[in-house]
Structure 1
Amino acid sequence: MQLFIGGTCAGKRDAVTQRFDAPHWHSAHAGCRLEAWRSRGAARCLVLEGWECWIAEQLADEPNDDRLRRAMMRELDALHAWEAEWGGEAVLILLEMGRGIVPIGRENRRLRDLNGWLAQDAAARCERVWYVWNGLVKELSR
């Protein structure tokens, strides 16, 4: 798996498009449900974006942040298993939210916290992590 992370309109989609040949996009912004990626089957490159939307959808239904975080980790683990089974590459695009600014509203804080934990969990599972800002792409190391 590879992770591309950065702010809104920072150039993440362009960076992915430049690096991968004919990626299959699975996007919350196009109305895709998170779990629907599982029906994709074989693909050389599967790009998942809109994680902040998928988290936001689940906030009202799941009051426990730890359970929601574990559910997101299960999706990451399932993507890793998909790679092993199909020989494809999963590419995650995550939005870096807030750059440390803590919102006043509880639900907005939860969303940012969960998105931040997801970013950490994804980075721990990914072979490569890229930070994208103003169209510039830098590979991060552990």
Structure 2
Amino acid sequence: MHFVTGGSFNGKAKWVREQYQLAERESSWISAYQGDEIPVLNGKQIIVLEGIEWWIRQINQTIPADECREKWQSLVREWLKWESMDQQRKLVLIGSDISKGIVPMAAEDRWWRDTTGWVYQDLVSAAERVDVIWYGISQKLK
């Protein structure tokens, strides 16, 4: 599993497309920004899940933060199992960093920000590789 994060509109999607040469390989791009739901993974070689923070927000609106985090931990275990079933499989998760800047005034926005931070910590822990993209430039963290 590869986790890619960085600021909004900083080139994460472009970097992933170039890194994995997605135009030339069998892949599936699923985006919360386009209204896609969290998928059941299929047989594609590379699956990109974009907009992790928006899926966290959707779940966080229906259940408490600790349960939301547990749900994400369960999803990650399923995804890692899917990925391990075939060496050609790769899951790439893209999530914008929403932890910087002014702390939101609304309680639900603060819970979203906090929960996203906790989930991202779990993703970084589980991921084989982690990159931060700022202004189109990558920095490999793991």
TM-score by length of 2: 0.90
- Distance (Å, rounded) in 2 between the aligned partners of 1:31 and 1:101: 27
Would the aligned equivalents of 1:42 and 1:86 in 2 still touch at CA under 8 Å?
no
- In the TM superposition, what is the alpha-carbon distance from 1:60 to its structure 2 partner? 2.7
Would the aligned equivalents of 2:99 and 2:117 in 1 still touch at CA under 8 Å?
no
Would the aligned equivalents of 1:41 and 1:86 in 2 still touch at CA under 8 Å?
no
Count matched residues: 137
Give 2:127's aligned amino acid: C
The equivalent position to 1:32 in structure 2, one of 12, 17, 36, is: 36
- In the TM superposition, what is the alpha-carbon distance from 1:50 to its structure 2 partner? 1.3
Structure 1 equivalent of residue 121 of structure 2: 120
Q: CA RMSD in A?
A: 1.4
The reply on whether 1:110 has 2:111 as its aligned counterpart is yes
- In the TM superposition, what is the alpha-carbon distance from 1:100 to its structure 2 partner? 5.3
- Distance (Å, rounded) in 2 between the aligned partners of 1:31 and 1:108: 20
- Distance (Å, rounded) in 1 between the aligned partners of 2:9 and 2:102: 18
- In the TM superposition, what is the alpha-carbon distance from 1:43 to its structure 2 partner? 1.4
- Distance (Å, rounded) in 1 between the aligned partners of 2:59 and 2:83: 25
- In the TM superposition, what is the alpha-carbon distance from 1:41 to its structure 2 partner? 1.8
- Identity value in percent: 31
Structure 2 equivalent of residue 134 of structure 1: 135
TM-score by length of 1: 0.90
Would the aligned equivalents of 1:43 and 1:86 in 2 still touch at CA under 8 Å?
no
- Distance (Å, rounded) in 1 between the aligned partners of 2:69 and 2:115: 7
- In the TM superposition, what is the alpha-carbon distance from 1:138 to its structure 2 partner? 0.8
Structure 2 equivalent of residue 71 of structure 1: 71
Distance 1:76 1:100, change over 3 A: farther
- Distance (Å, rounded) in 1 between the aligned partners of 2:86 and 2:111: 34
